[in-house]
């Protein structure tokens, strides 16, 4: 072989990747050819240089973020694949806004859900089903579901905790539409009530709904079954507050109401602020596939309701929100902008950042923000969280003193960089908002000014409106959440390992619904619903 042919082989020869026979030929040639030996030496030097390059370690947050994503994915994933019947479950009662009008918020989750029917509770008082048409047929033999456990028509959903349920009779339609293929199903019309249909198809409450809505609004004091002070303490980071009233198996739902000039841009900011904490929306207003809006008289006042649904991983979720006594002429309207699933330990930070962003949402010094907590504090009733959330054994919010395990974890956690490493999040955020100053200011000026609504409806105005230092102090005792990383590193001790695994499973997630209150010029009031939302979001 000549030198050219040999040189082509030298590279593979160097790597020991030649067949024995070829290698032998090269060896023989090298023994007699000085030039080719030099060539080989030169290649060796080159590979030596490359091997000597320092190896870069992956930034620590990669693993954490990937695992967080996966946990969230598992949490949000639909339990089964096929499409089917919608289970509407009520999540909660009502809340107050301190100012002029009482605000009723009703949450209804709609979940297309099969396969777990057998595991649904049989007592029907809190379990509701919505849907009709083909879906009804899908029920097949599950007669008890069609009938509901108490034998009543299943097509109904609850309006308020411990109060009314709205009976939707055959031919009626709920505010929540069930649809399986992305197309809103047909709804019915009712004479009363002003309806702003969306996407060409109207969803209008039937007479039964309207009638139910006319029933007296229950006393707020009896409905809001949470301790506002405790709630506020929790929101401000003091987790030592004991005696959570939340039903043990249900995730807490918090609401944050922010004032905004422009809904769209404020929503983007909310998403960006959340992203800066590694919190990603379960849904945002942008992803709502269907939005119906109804205006109905309640107690002589006009109330508005919005129905939204969004799709995620093949599961459809829906929510109805309403605002009582905020009809035409009302100065503002609150609309659900995003639903976030947040690690409990991030909640105070999230709230603080959102509130710190207030001036970005609306002119400085505006004190109209409110934090509301929704919970599921029904007495003696099992939790009514969405079924697949129930599959996580751990959505438990309980307050207990830190034990040895936690202390150790906290130590391990402190040793690491904190979960909210800003650089990545700031970058993400910049993509959303093109405004990096947003979080930066949020991080610096953590000064929550929370107005808390007490059960008696009085506003505990700005008691938490603290100067910066106090705010930091309030935010200080956030216990670190056990991270999978920590778990791995602490795995030497078998007993500790088991304890930790158990603890890890207790993912403390809470839902946060972000409402944005925007000024409502009369001419614009139908505009939001008439505007077709993008079909999907990702």
Q: Which is nearer to other proteins, 37 or 301 (CB)?
A: 37
* CA separation for the pair 149, 145 (Å, rounded): 7
* CA separation for the pair 336, 267 (Å, rounded): 9
* CA separation for the pair 58, 427 (Å, rounded): 18
Binding mask 413-442 for other proteins (x = CB under 8 A): -----------x--x---------------
Exactly one of 45, 137, 221, 417 binds other proteins (CB under 8 A); which one? 45
* CA separation for the pair 175, 497 (Å, rounded): 48
CB of 196 to other proteins, least distance (A): 38
Exactly one of 1, 3, 46, 367 binds other proteins (CB under 8 A); which one? 46
CB of 188 to other proteins, least distance (A): 40
Report helix, strand or coil for 305.
strand
Using rule CB under 8 A, residue 81 touches other proteins: no
CB of 64 to other proteins, least distance (A): 9
Q: Which is nearer to other proteins, 7 or 267 (CB)?
A: 7
Q: Which is nearer to other proteins, 73 or 531 (CB)?
A: 73
Question: CA 208, 211, 213, 219: dihedral to nearest 10 degrees?
Answer: -120
* CA separation for the pair 266, 260 (Å, rounded): 6
CB of 278 to other proteins, least distance (A): 12
CA distances for 231 relative to 138, 353, 371, 478, angstroms:
42, 18, 9, 15
Stretch of 56-64, 125-133, 358-366, 401-409 lying at the interface with other proteins (CB under 8 A):
56-64
Q: Which is nearer to other proteins, 17 or 531 (CB)?
A: 17
CB of 427 to other proteins, least distance (A): 7
State how beta strands 107-112 and 370-374 pair: unpaired
* CA separation for the pair 498, 501 (Å, rounded): 5
Q: What is the DSSP letter of 331?
A: S
* CA separation for the pair 225, 373 (Å, rounded): 10
Torsion angles phi and psi, residue 323, rounded to 5: -135, 115
Stretch of 61-69, 248-256, 318-326, 433-441 lying at the interface with other proteins (CB under 8 A):
61-69
CB of 408 to other proteins, least distance (A): 18
Exactly one of 1, 8, 100, 359 binds other proteins (CB under 8 A); which one? 8
Report helix, strand or coil for 145.
helix
Q: Which is nearer to other proteins, 169 or 418 (CB)?
A: 418
CA distances for 347 relative to 46, 162, 369, 510, 511, angstroms:
53, 28, 16, 8, 9
Exactly one of 30, 63, 265, 410 binds other proteins (CB under 8 A); which one? 63
CB of 81 to other proteins, least distance (A): 12
Using rule CB under 8 A, residue 71 touches other proteins: yes
Question: CA 14, 20, 23, 24: dihedral to nearest 10 degrees?
Answer: 140
Q: Which is nearer to other proteins, 170 or 313 (CB)?
A: 313
Stretch of 52-60, 176-184, 206-214, 217-225 lying at the interface with other proteins (CB under 8 A):
52-60
Residue in this structure with the two tokens 């009896």, named with its chain if needed: 222
Torsion angles phi and psi, residue 39, rounded to 5: -60, -45
Q: What is the DSSP letter of 346?
A: G
CB of 397 to other proteins, least distance (A): 21
Binding mask 474-513 for other proteins (x = CB under 8 A): ----------xx-xx------------x--x---------
Stretch of 57-65, 213-221, 241-249, 298-306 lying at the interface with other proteins (CB under 8 A):
57-65
Name the helix (H) or strand (E) containing 484: helix 484-489
CB of 10 to other proteins, least distance (A): 8
Q: Which is nearer to other proteins, 47 or 536 (CB)?
A: 47
Count CB neighbours of 421 within 10 A.
Answer: 15
Torsion angles phi and psi, residue 295, rounded to 5: -120, 120
Exactly one of 20, 21, 32, 55 binds other proteins (CB under 8 A); which one? 55
Which residues touch 237 (CB under 8 Å, ≥6 apart)?
348, 474, 475, 476, 477, 478
* CA separation for the pair 521, 230 (Å, rounded): 37
Using rule CB under 8 A, residue 50 touches other proteins: yes
Q: Which is nearer to other proteins, 261 or 436 (CB)?
A: 436
Count residues near other proteins (CB under 8 A).
Answer: 39
Per DSSP, what are the bridge partners of residue 518? 333
- Per residue, what are the HEC states of 382-412? CCCCCHHHHCCCCCCCCCCCCCHHHHHHHHH
State how beta strands 253-259 and 509-519 pair: parallel
Stretch of 7-15, 91-99, 408-416, 518-526 lying at the interface with other proteins (CB under 8 A):
7-15
Q: Which is nearer to other proteins, 158 or 500 (CB)?
A: 500
Binding mask 23-42 for other proteins (x = CB under 8 A): -------------------x
CB of 136 to other proteins, least distance (A): 32
As a whole number of Å, the CA-based R_g of the chain is: 29
Stretch of 51-59, 233-241, 242-250, 341-349 lying at the interface with other proteins (CB under 8 A):
51-59
Using rule CB under 8 A, residue 15 touches other proteins: yes
Binding site for other proteins (CB under 8 A): 8, 10-12, 15, 17, 42-43, 45-47, 49-51, 53-59, 62-63, 65-67, 69-71, 73-74, 424, 427, 484-485, 487-488, 501, 504
């Amino acid at each position: 072989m000549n030198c050219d042919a040999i040189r082509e082989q030298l590279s593979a020869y160097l790597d020991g990747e030649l067949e024995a026979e070829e290698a032998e030929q090269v060896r023989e040639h090298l023994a007699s050819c000085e030039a080719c030996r030099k060539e080989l030496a030169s290649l060796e030097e080159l590979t030596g240089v490359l091997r000597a390059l320092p190896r870069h370690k992956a930034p620590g947050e990669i693993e954490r973020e990937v695992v967080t994503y996966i946990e969230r994915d598992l949490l949000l994933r639909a339990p089964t694949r096929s499409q089917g019947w919608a289970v509407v479950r009520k999540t909660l009662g009502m809340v107050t806004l301190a100012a002029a009008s009482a605000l009723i918020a009703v949450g209804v989750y709609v979940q297309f859900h099969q396969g777990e029917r057998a595991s649904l509770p049989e007592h029907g008082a809190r379990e509701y089903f919505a849907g009709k048409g083909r879906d009804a047929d899908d029920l097949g033999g599950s007669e008890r579901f069609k009938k509901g456990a108490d034998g009543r028509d299943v097509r109904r959903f609850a309006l308020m905790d411990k109060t009314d349920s709205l009976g939707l009779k055959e031919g009626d339609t709920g505010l929540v539409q069930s649809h399986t293929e992305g197309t809103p199903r047909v709804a019915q019309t009712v004479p009363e009530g002003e309806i702003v249909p969306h996407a060409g198809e109207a969803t209008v409450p039937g007479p039964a709904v309207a009638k139910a809505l006319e029933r007296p609004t229950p006393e707020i004091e009896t409905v809001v079954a949470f301790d506002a002070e405790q709630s506020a303490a929790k929101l401000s980071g003091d987790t030592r507050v004991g005696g959570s009233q939340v039903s043990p198996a249900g995730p807490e739902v918090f609401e944050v109401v922010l004032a905004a000039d422009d809904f769209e841009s404020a929503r983007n900011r909310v998403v960006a602020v959340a992203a800066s904490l590694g919190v990603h929306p379960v849904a945002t207003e942008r992803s709502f596939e269907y939005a119906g809006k109804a205006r109905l008289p309640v107690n002589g006042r006009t109330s508005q309701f919005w129905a939204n649904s969004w799709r995620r991983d093949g599961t459809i979720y829906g929510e109805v929100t309403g605002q009582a006594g905020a009809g035409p002429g009302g100065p503002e309207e609150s609309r659900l902008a995003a639903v976030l699933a947040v690690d409990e330990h991030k909640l105070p930070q999230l709230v603080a950042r959102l509130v710190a962003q207030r001036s970005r949402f609306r002119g400085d010094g505006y004190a109209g923000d409110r934090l509301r907590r929704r919970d599921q504090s029904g007495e003696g009733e099992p939790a009514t969280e969405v079924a697949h959330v129930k599959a996580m054994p751990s959505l438990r919010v309980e307050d207990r003193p830190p034990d040895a395990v936690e202390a150790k974890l906290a130590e391990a956690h402190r040793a690491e960089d904190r979960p909210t490493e800003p650089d990545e999040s700031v970058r993400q955020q910049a993509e959303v908002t093109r405004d990096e100053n947003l979080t930066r200011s949020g991080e610096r000026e953590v000064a929550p000014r929370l107005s808390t609504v007490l059960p008696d409806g009085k506003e505990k105005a700005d008691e938490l409106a603290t100067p910066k230092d106090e705010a930091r102090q309030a935010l200080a005792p956030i216990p670190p959440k056990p991270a999978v990383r920590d778990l791995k590193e602490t795995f030497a001790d078998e007993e500790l390992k088991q304890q930790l695994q158990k603890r890890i499973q207790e993912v403390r997630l809470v839902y946060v619904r972000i409402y944005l209150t925007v000024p409502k010029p009369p001419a614009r009031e139908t505009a939001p619903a008439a505007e077709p939302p993008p079909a999907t979001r990702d």
